[in-house]
Structure 1
Amino acid sequence: MKGWLEPLLHILTQDSSAGAVGSKLLFPDGTIQHAGVVIIDDQKLPDPLVARHVYYGEPGDVSEANQLRQYQALTAACLLVRKSAFHEAGGFDEAYWNGYEDVDLCFNLQERGWKLVYQPESVLIHHESKSGPERFSKVSENIQRLHNRWIGKIKPDILLKKDGSMAITEDRKIQRYRMPNVRAAQSWAGKQQKLVSIIILTCNALEYTQQCVSSIQKHTGRPYEIIFVDNASSDGTVEYLRNLAGKQVNYKLIENRENLGFAAGNNQGVALARGEYIMLLNNDVLVSDGWLDGLVEGLERDEKIGMVGPITNSISGRQMVRAVPYTDEDGFHHFSQRVRKTYSGRLTPRNRIAGFAVLMRKALYDEVGGLDESFGTGNYEDDDLCLKVRGKGYAIMVDESVFIHHYGSKTFLANNIDYRGSLLVNGSHFKEKWPDADYDELLELHTSLVDLNASMLIKGQEALDAGHPADALAVYAKVLTANPIDDGALYGTGLAFQMSGKTVEAIAAFKKALKVNPTLTHAYGRLALAYESMNQTDDAISVLQKATEFNNRDAAVYNNLGVLYFKKKNHASARNCFERALSIDVNYQEAQQNLKKVSWSSEKITNHTFAHIS
């Protein structure tokens, strides 16, 4: 269909991490043939690795199929692939026989860290499987080859149980895709970056401290200082740190004559920090390119985000990535950059993050009183800090794009500290201090905060459907406390305010939702409707124009934009919009009527047409 190629090119030219972009494919009757491919563990067949087209046979205008998304696989019936990515992945495996070679290629691209993007603005008609009966002559061989190559490596998005019920897996990779903010990135270089004070405690384990410092020096591109706090090392660590601090003006050293413990040492370092942000960092970690930029960008996404941490190979809780595919430092850096490329911008809300790597504002650290020094040498003081931060109404997030290698407990081992004994003693102290805290819930052992928020969003929508906006607002407020950048909760908040007649508040909520996710196309319509209800027609026009940049296949948007232009007596622009709406949907009756009216130009278009926005 006309204009099918440009939307695909736009993704690849604006996002260097995108390896392939696929189109929306429709059958001749307008129903969906392809809107992305979902990977299923089908226990009914059984087949642990089934690739199926999502929304297959659904109407072409179903809203879920008209959103930019990332998938694990896309059909090659129409797939724009970056040439360098294609060669890096080894191209198509020619041992497949007209089936599954596209899924295999996508898995190869994904394994190398490339994004696979579904672009619904690119629309084609697909006459499926017209190559003859030989098309299906080697189905079983193709399936077996795919299984041999990928079972155990590719995690399914959905589990289809024997009883026919479905469950979304925790490892699902399907997610909304957000285009990089090119203008923001270009202006970043001219923006003065805030200083980050990195606090590193040492107590022997010199070898790991040296590796940590070396990795920071090699892979940190923004302004930072390091404040070392040594807790009475005796293995040459103090001499090493003195030498560093003597040569580096942005390095400082505090020497303690006895081991004051993890909490007290960090509090000493923070007290000396000059940065607006502080980074508590264990000395037994390795960092990689972009690590600190990523964490700072995450913290700056919203003023109510209080703490941000990375993911890692060794830690308690949901920050841990199991079975990492590397065995040496080079492998770590390669893997961490794949993670950075694949999950760029993804922040996940958590109840707590571990203290091995924590970024927060110094002002908030001071406000909550820092780390509680009564926890001694270590353990549970990070959980305590998280509860204090949440008690102030701040969210805790994990940046899924920042992977830090953690050797784990090297200070305890180097100093023969009884780690298990420390856990028992401090665990009892933690329970005394927080008697109402459910530690299993804090670690999200049974239900993740992500899943809990998703169920809350359903409750919020149910409250809206029942005509209870106040109840919906209460539900959405809980979600936003845990995740202030949840676009679904922000959009729902706007709907609830709109339903309550609080238009100013609705506008603020819709604007924030779009700031978080500029591809949230239905929010543009609601925001325009809110502006128009306040007779701010120019603002409404501007919003709908922006909406067409992200989805130029929505006939209703062009129709409503035409109505607004007509109201402003801009008949030429109104005509163009109505004609564009009809080019998308030739049977769109309101656009047909409005085109006739603008042609007559003497008959006023009533505002009820504009209310068609949903």
Structure 2
Amino acid sequence: MIVPCHNEESTLPPQLDALEAQVWDGDWEVVVVDNGSTDRTAEVVGERMASWSRLRLVTADAGRGLSFARNAGVAASHGRMLLFCDGDDVVADGWVEGLARALVDHELVTGRLELERLNPDWLALSRGASAAAPGPPRFAGTFAYASGGNQGMTRALFDRVGGFTEGIAGAEDMEFSLRCLGLGVEVHDTADAVVHYRYRTRAGDLFRQGRTYGACRPLIARRMKDAGMVRPPRFQGWRSWLWLVIRLPTLVTAHGRANWAWVAGNRFGHVLGSIRHRTLML
């Protein structure tokens, strides 16, 4: 299991508790990758290592980002199966077994996200029901991809694809799955691997996260076109722009602010990404 972390001393302990409680018949290890943390993330892991032999800490501060951290974690690991989760979420009981059993018959697998345990009601609903819908997530209604914080793959596939592309913040999981698809490997979804997903709580953080995610979407659309696939329509998101205007009155509520900030950040990110990658996707 690879767990990339950056300044997660407060959210990492419950994730480590959940990982330590996992049951799997085979040998397994948990590799926490500290990607330049300035808080006590490394100390939190070090304190747990004294009583948990499966836990390891890797310091990866020569680069930044989830792709760099995940690649560093894989390089330091030994398993034939690679499972990925994040340090600010909490895996559910049976998560390891769910992904590992799916990997017996498939090369790339993903699980489900559960939103209610770690988020208040007003926040859990801020991105709509589709965020936790059954089935694998899809890029703008096109190809299915393995969610970065709840995915598993064989090491053979990871090596064949070449690992995660570094420098793609917010869409590294989509880009990885797209390259897998180019090799004829489709993602398999399993309902037996659930991750309790934690949202950002402040509107500003939601906006910035949405902007990061949105800015990478045009790049994925461009990669699809380069691969000979049908990319999403250039103005597919026009309804979201209209929605932002219509929903301005909801900014008086916490739920309304969270929802609006996420969508606004995402759409603004699409504009930035369209300019940066010279591929229109608004």
Sort the TM-score into its range (normalised by shorter chain). Answer: 0.5 to 0.7
Distance 1:402 1:257 in 2: 30
Alpha-carbon contact 2:136-2:145 (below 8 Å) kept? no
Distance 1:289 1:420 in 2: 29
Instruction: Give the Å deviation of 1:264.
Output: 0.9
Q: 1:407 to 1:259 in 2, by over 3 A?
A: farther
Distance 1:379 1:285 in 2: 16
Q: Show the counterpart of 1:397.
A: 188
Instruction: Give the secondary-structure state (helix, strand or coil) at the position aligned to 1:426.
Output: helix
Distance 1:354 1:327 in 2: 18
Instruction: Give the Å deviation of 1:429.
Output: 3.0
Residues 105-120 of structure 1: matches in 2 within 5 Å?
A: none
Instruction: Say whether residues 1:429 and 2:222 are aligned partners.
Output: no
Distance 2:199 2:192 in 1: 20
Letter in 2 for 1:353: A
Q: Show the counterpart of 2:179.
A: 388
Alpha-carbon contact 1:228-1:254 (below 8 Å) kept? yes
Instruction: Say whether residues 1:210 and 2:13 are aligned partners.
Output: yes
Distance 2:176 2:118 in 1: 33
Q: Where in structure 2 are there 5+ consecutive unaligned residues?
A: 120-133, 138-142, 234-282
Q: Show the counterpart of 1:611.
A: none
Instruction: Say whether residues 1:419 and 2:212 are aligned partners.
Output: no
Letter in 2 for 1:379: G
Q: Show the counterpart of 1:257.
A: 61
Distance 1:391 1:311 in 2: 24
Distance 1:212 1:438 in 2: 39
Letter in 1 for 2:7: N
Distance 1:241 1:309 in 2: 26
Letter in 2 for 1:398: D
Q: 1:270 aligns with which of 74, 90, 105?
A: 74
- For each residue in 1:76-95, what CA deviation from the matched residue of structure 2 results, as whole angstroms up to 9, or x when unmatched? xxxxxxxxxxxxxxxxxxxx
Q: Show the counterpart of 2:102.
A: 298
Distance 2:63 2:171 in 1: 18
Letter in 2 for 1:279: L
Q: Show the counterpart of 1:364.
A: 157
Instruction: Give the Å deviation of 1:285.
Output: 2.0
Instruction: Say whether residues 1:312 and 2:113 are aligned partners.
Output: yes
Alpha-carbon contact 1:203-1:259 (below 8 Å) kept? no
Alpha-carbon contact 1:308-1:396 (below 8 Å) kept? yes
Alpha-carbon contact 1:298-1:347 (below 8 Å) kept? no
Q: Show the counterpart of 2:45.
A: 241
Instruction: Give the Å deviation of 1:204.
Output: 0.9
**Equivalences, count:** 211
Letter in 2 for 1:245: M
Q: Show the counterpart of 1:20.
A: none
Residues 394-543 of structure 1: matches in 2 within 5 Å?
A: 394-408=185-199, 418-435=208-225, 436-438=228-230
Q: 1:272 to 1:307 in 2, by over 3 A?
A: same
Q: 1:371 to 1:274 in 2, by over 3 A?
A: same
Distance 1:402 1:254 in 2: 25
Residues 116-135 of structure 1: matches in 2 within 5 Å?
A: none
Q: Which is higher, the Rg of structure 1 or of structure 2? A: 1
Q: Show the counterpart of 1:606.
A: none
Distance 1:404 1:256 in 2: 25
Instruction: Give the secondary-structure state (helix, strand or coil) at the position aligned to 1:373.
Output: coil
Q: 1:327 to 1:384 in 2, by over 3 A?
A: closer
Distance 2:147 2:232 in 1: 14
Q: 1:397 to 1:356 in 2, by over 3 A?
A: same
Q: 1:431 to 1:221 in 2, by over 3 A?
A: same
Letter in 1 for 2:110: G
Q: 1:289 aligns with which of 93, 105, 109?
A: 93
Q: Show the counterpart of 2:279.
A: none
Instruction: Give the Å deviation of 1:405.
Output: 0.8
Instruction: Give the secondary-structure state (helix, strand or coil) at the position aligned to 1:207.
Output: coil
Instruction: Give the secondary-structure state (helix, strand or coil) at the position aligned to 1:372.
Output: coil
Distance 1:371 1:419 in 2: 20
Instruction: Give the Å deviation of 1:401.
Output: 2.9
Alpha-carbon contact 1:431-1:437 (below 8 Å) kept? no
Distance 2:87 2:32 in 1: 10
Letter in 1 for 2:22: H
Identical counterparts, % of pairs = 21
Alpha-carbon contact 1:208-1:285 (below 8 Å) kept? yes
Q: What is the TM-score with the length of structure 1 in the denominator?
A: 0.31
Q: 1:327 to 1:286 in 2, by over 3 A?
A: closer
Instruction: Give the Å deviation of 1:299.
Output: 1.8
Q: 1:226 to 1:387 in 2, by over 3 A?
A: same
Instruction: Give the secondary-structure state (helix, strand or coil) at the position aligned to 2:38.
Output: coil
Instruction: Say whether residues 1:219 and 2:22 are aligned partners.
Output: yes
Letter in 1 for 2:223: K
Instruction: Say whether residues 1:201 and 2:10 are aligned partners.
Output: no
Q: What is the TM-score with the length of structure 2 in the denominator?
A: 0.65
- For each residue in 1:570-599, what CA deviation from the matched residue of structure 2 results, as whole angstroms up to 9, or x when unmatched? xxxxxxxxxxxxxxxxxxxxxxxxxxxxxx
- For each residue in 1:382-402, what CA deviation from the matched residue of structure 2 results, as whole angstroms up to 9, or x when unmatched? 011111112212221111233
Alpha-carbon contact 1:306-1:389 (below 8 Å) kept? no
Distance 1:347 1:426 in 2: 22
Instruction: Give the secondary-structure state (helix, strand or coil) at the position aligned to 2:15.
Output: helix
Q: Show the counterpart of 1:192.
A: none
Higher relative contact order (CA 8 A, sep 6+): 2
Instruction: Say whether residues 1:353 and 2:146 are aligned partners.
Output: yes
Kindly report the root-mean-square deviation, in angstroms, between the aligned alpha carbons of the 2 structures: 3.2
